[in-house]
Amino acid sequence: MTADYLDAHQRHWDDAERLRGTERWANADHLYGIATECGLKRLMLAFGMTFDVSKGMPAEGKDREHANGIWARYESYRSGHPQGAAYALPAVNPFADWHVSQRYAPQAAFDRTRVEKHRRGAESVSLLVKQAHLEGVI
């Protein structure tokens, strides 16, 4: 299957929202992180990231990051692109305490406070994706 970061961003965001609505905190938290990663990778493509079609992933190893690592990678693409000025994210990475391996963690480790922080981060990415869509950047 080929990667479609935009579609993946939207479906992970939608599902995260549904899980949050039923207080399924652990998987909502996981999906907010994945939605963020996909959204930022779509924007990074617009701002110059190269993509290895044969492998279906970013060409540069350092761009193959999850939400906790991709925040800084996004900034380096955004700040080097003329259209990037209008696409800044909050300077502090809300996913610094998020890790993809937390999908193995017990549900009791997740609560509303943690999820709301990650949701705000994912929402800021979602708004940038929407803006890029409307402006014709993606």
Partner 1 sequence: MTTFDQILPRVVESLRPHAASLAGIDRIVINRDLNGKVRLIIPEQVRTDTAIKAVIASIAEELTRRLGAHAFPAAQGVLFEEDLQAITHGRPCLPLESFRNVWIIDRLATEGDWATITPVVKGSPRLVFFSIKGGVGRSTALAASSWALAQSGKRILVLDLDLESPGLSSALLPEERRPAYGIADWLVEDLVDNGDAVFDDLIATSTLAHDGEIYVAPAHGRNPGEYVAKLGRVWMSKPAPDGSREPWSGRLRRLIDAMEARLQPDLILIDSRAGIDEVASCCITDLGARLVLLFAVDGEQTWTGYRLLFRHWRQAGVAREIRERLQLVGAMIPDDERRAAHFEGLRERAWDTFAGDLYDEIPAGEVGGEYWNFEEFDEGAPHYPWAIRWNRGFASLLSLHTRFAAIDPAEVDAVFGPLIRGLLNALPGLGEDHG
Q: Which residues make up the interface to partner 1 (CB under 8 A)?
A: 83, 85-86, 88-92, 124, 133-137
CA atoms within 13 A on the CB side of 89: 29
Smallest gap from residue 116 Cβ to partner 1 (A): 16
Q: Which is nearer to partner 1, 100 or 123 (CB)?
A: 123
**Residue 9 · residue 40 · CB < 8 Å:** no
Tokens matching residue 19 = 């899980």
Smallest gap from residue 115 Cβ to partner 1 (A): 19
Smallest gap from residue 97 Cβ to partner 1 (A): 18
Q: Which is nearer to partner 1, 88 or 105 (CB)?
A: 88
**Residue 52 DSSP symbol:** E
Look at phi and psi of residue 10 and say left if phi exceeds 0, alpha if psi is from -120 to 50, else beta. alpha
Q: Which is nearer to partner 1, 18 or 133 (CB)?
A: 133
